[in-house]
Each structure stands twice: as structure tokens, then as C-alpha cells.
């Protein structure tokens, strides 16, 4: 399928990637910026997320209402997001509507008005969004935990910022950061569906073939590699019905060749209904409705985490079962059956994603951001199939170590106390 992927790089750093899917009638068009919460100065924590919101408040030729009406006319399937390492805007439309969709998104991103009154209103909206996070135990624990896991580093800060930082994002501050950072050299335009590559290139040429007004001041990620801590955080909140638990360790980075084995390990432990944690905690013991494990892989580091929400009187047991499973994979690895199941699960997920233009567009952008090249389907499937049991165990041995274990708990904890020796692996 690689023959359907085409690439054009502009002199100003803009990258255009397309994946032609001639058998569909849709196109997903995405604008993905190599900028996120970790690239912000501490005083501007949350400004990328703020800009993600603010561009929808009007441009030189479209009001906020015009944007909303046009989005609905195109089908209403417009998504915008901010993460620690990227900010994205994507829309899925019928193929014949591609030029209109491009014009709309490009106008938002190139010509935002950043009206002072609108920005003031949006500050209030985002502060309410921050409050919503504080009312969601799982998200709130994640915020508290990350701050201690990545001390004195942007990865530990909230993507949305704080009420204090958000209130400082006036027109001058917002416009300056937008001009310096949301620039063509930080942009990947990725599209998948029933399209012609040259059409996307021509549209990109029209809107984005310009040089930045000012020199880009982005800090380099490789110069700011975080040093992860291993905190133990216990926050009692009697108003919550459940105890919410996180166990975390450092993990492989997105660029690490061990990433395929690491994915197998995370999925075997808690990636689905057949995983160890799901079966042991939920199916066999009935201790939790929500339990699982996941891996977050950044460009220069990673985090493996186990999450569970359980009744306060079950918290001790859930913690002990989770630690027992970590010890088990360090000592014995995973079984042949688990290895083959996880490989099959990963391959099926990738192949099913090929049917969706949105999945394919985001994959184009992600591979460009992380690896600087497109990794073929064949290479990916071969890498997954090549994972061996000893490689999975080696990842567990490297990262699941007592001194690297971090623990967090929030809620009515029923006297739960955790010291370092209890986390021994």
C-alpha cells in the first residue's frame, strides 16, 4: 500500500503527505503541528491548548458563527486536540468537499483574528474545562501524578494550563506565540481518502508557502529530556465512592526499537479483556469495573501505567494483585499463548485501521513526526511478528524495578498506606 503514499516537502519546512484510497468517497484532512504542551515556556503553560480553542473564534473573513455553520454544512466531523507533543486539527468530508474543507481549516490556522473580547470569553470556557478535570477522579489523579512523576518538566504540567496562566493569554501573547510556533516549518498536512496528491500540494502552496515572520524559538526536545521520579502520592478524599489507583514505571520511547516488545508486554498485562489484570482483578475476583494497563510513548521517554478504580475496602487487594503480576513478568516473562495472542491483536488493530481515512491520515503524521519517514505496513507487521518472548521479558526486567515504581491513590482510601518496601518487585 506504500505506493499510494506521496510526500512533498516545501522549502519553508512544510510537509505534505497523502494516502490515496480510491475505493472510498471520503477524505480526512489533517493539519498536525509539531508543538504541544511540552514545548511551552513555564509561564505560558496551556497556550497551545488555548490557541487550539481560540482559532475557532473568528478569522479575517469568517465569524465564529460562520465557522460553525460551515463546519456543519461540511458534515460537522471536525476534531481538534492538543497533546504534549502535537496539536492537531482534522476534518472528514465527502471527497468533492475537499477544497472547501481545506479553505476553512487553513483560514482558521493562518488568519485567526484573536479578538480580545473573544479571548476573554474563551479563557472562562477553558477555566471551566480545568474545573471539569478536577471533578473527574481518574483525570484529576492523572494530573496530580504526572506533576510529581515529571518534576520541573513540561511533561508534568497540565495540557490545559492553570487558571492563573490562562488568564494571561491576551491578544499580544497569543498572537506572538502563534506566529512563532504555529508556523509552516512545524506543520505536517496529512490527508487520506479519495484524493489527488497534487491537489493538496496546490492548496498548501496557496495558504502556507510563506516564511515565518519571526525566527522560531522552540526549545529542542532532545535538550530537555525529563528525569522521571518515582513518587508515592496518597490523597484522601472522603466524598468519592471509589479508591482510584495508579502504578507507573518509566518505559521505552516512541523511537526505541524495543517498542514492539513493549507494546506486547503492556497489552498482555492490561490491554484488553483477555489480559492478566482484567482477568485477575475483574473476572476472577470482581474487584473493579475499570482496570487496565497502557503505555504512553514520547519522543525521548515513555511511561507504563496500571489504573484501577475500586471500592475502598478492595484497594489493598487490587494493589497486591497488580504488583504480583509485575513481579511475575519480570521473573517468568509471558507465555507463548500470550505472545501469539498479543501479536494477533496488534496486527488486527493495524489492518482494521486501514479501512478508516482518519486513522490513515493520523498515522501518516505520527510516523513523520516520530521517525521522519513512513514505515510500511509490511515492515510494521514483520516487526510485530518478530517479537520474541525473551525480548518482552527483557523490557520487564529493565523497567519494572522497585526503585522505579511510582504509586498514586485518590479517594476514600480506607486507611491505605504504601511505603517503598511494599512496592518491591
Cell of 352: 482494521
SS3 readout for the chain: CHHHEEEEECCCCCEEEEEECCCCCEEEEEEEECCCHHHCCHHHCCHHHHHHHHHHHEECCCEHHHHHHHHHHCCCCEEEEECCCCEEEEEEEEHHHHHHHHHHHHHHHHCECCCHHHHHHHHHHHHHHHHHHHCCHHHHHHHHHHHHHCCCCHHHCCCCCCHHHHCCCCHHHHHHHHHHHCCHHHEEEEEEECCCHHHHHHHHHHHHCCCCCCCCCCCCHHHHCCCCCCCEEEEECCCCCCEEEEEEEEECCCCCCCHHHHHHHHHHHHCCCCCHHHHHHHHHCCCEEEEEEEEEECCCCEEEEEEEEECHHHHHHHHHHHHHHHHHHHHHCCCHHHHHHHHHHHHHHHHHHCCCHHHHHHHHHHHHHHHCCCCCHHHHHHHHHCCCHHHHHHHHHHHCCHHHCEEEEEECCCCCCCCHHHHCC
Residue 70 is a catalytic residue = no
Catalytic residue among 3, 11, 52, 85: 52
Do 121 and 112 touch, CB atoms closer than 8 A?
no
- In sequence order, what are the residues at sequence separation of 6 or more whose Cβ sits closer than 8 angstroms to the Cβ of residue 352? none
Active site residue ranges: 52
Amino acid at each position: 500500500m506504500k505506493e499510494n503514499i506521496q510526500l512533498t516537502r516545501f522549502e519553508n519546512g512544510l510537509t505534505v503527505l497523502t494516502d490515496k484510497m480510491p475505493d472510498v468517497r471520503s477524505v480526512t484532512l489533517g493539519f498536525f503541528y509539531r508543538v504541544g504542551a511540552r514545548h511551552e515556556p513555564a509561564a505560558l503553560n496551556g497556550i497551545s491548548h488555548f490557541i487550539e480553542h481560540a482559532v475557532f473564534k473568528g478569522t479575517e473573513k469568517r465569524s465564529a458563527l460562520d465557522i460553525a455553520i460551515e463546519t456543519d454544512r461540511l458534515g460537522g466531523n471536525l476534531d481538534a486536540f492538543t497533546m504534549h507533543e502535537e496539536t492537531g486539527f482534522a476534518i472528514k468530508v465527502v471527497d468533492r468537499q475537499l477544497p472547501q474543507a481545506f479553505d476553512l481549516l487553513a483560514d482558521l490556522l493562518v488568519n485567526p483574528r484573536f479578538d480580545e473580547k473573544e479571548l476573554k470569553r474563551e479563557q472562562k470556557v477553558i477555566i471551566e474545562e480545568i474545573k471539569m478535570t478536577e471533578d473527574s477522579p481518574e483525570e484529576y489523579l492523572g494530573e496530580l501524578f504526572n506533576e510529581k512523576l515529571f518534576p520541573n518538566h513540561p511533561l508534568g504540567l497540565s495540557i490545559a494550563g492553570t487558571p492563573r496562566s490562562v488568564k494571561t493569554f491576551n491578544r499580544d501573547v497569543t498572537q506572538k506565540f502563534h506566529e512563532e510556533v504555529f508556523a509552516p516549518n512545524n506543520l505536517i498536512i496529512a490527508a487520506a481518502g479519495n484524493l489527488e496528491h497534487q491537489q493538496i500540494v496546490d492548496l498548501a502552496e496557496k495558504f502556507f508557502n510563506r516564511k515565518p515572520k519571526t525566527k522560531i524559538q522552540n526549545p529542542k526536545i532532545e535538550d530537555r529530556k525529563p528525569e522521571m521520579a518515582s513518587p508515592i502520592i496518597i490523597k484522601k478524599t472522603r466524598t468519592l465512592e471509589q479508591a482510584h489507583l495508579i502504578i507507573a514505571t518509566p518505559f521505552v520511547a516512541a523511537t526505541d526499537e524495543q517498542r514492539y516488545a513493549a507494546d506486547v508486554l503492556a497489552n498482555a498485562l492490561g490491554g484488553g479483556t483477555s489480559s492478566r489484570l482484567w482477568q485477575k482483578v475483574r473476572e476472577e475476583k470482581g474487584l473493579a469495573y475499570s482496570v487496565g494497563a497502557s503505555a504512553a510513548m514520547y519522543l525521548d521517554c515513555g511511561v507504563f501505567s496500571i489504573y484501577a478504580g475500586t471500592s475502598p475496602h478492595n484497594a489493598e487487594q487490587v494493589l497486591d494483585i497488580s504488583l504480583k503480576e509485575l513481579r511475575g513478568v519480570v521473573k517468568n516473562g509471558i507465555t507463548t499463548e500470550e505472545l501469539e495472542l498479543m501479536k494477533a491483536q496488534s496486527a488486527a488493530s493495524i489492518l482494521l485501521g486501514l479501512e478508516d481515512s482518519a486513522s490513515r491520515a493520523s498515522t501518516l503524521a505520527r510516523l513523520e513526526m516520530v521517525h521522519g519517514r513512513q514505515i510500511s505496513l509490511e515492515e510494521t507487521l514483520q516487526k510485530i511478528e518478530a517479537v520474541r518472548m525473551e525480548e518482552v521479558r527483557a523490557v520487564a526486567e529493565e523497567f519494572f524495578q522497585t526503585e522505579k515504581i511510582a504509586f498514586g491513590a485518590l479517594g476514600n482510601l480506607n486507611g491505605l498506606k504504601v511505603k517503598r518496601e511494599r512496592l518491591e518487585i
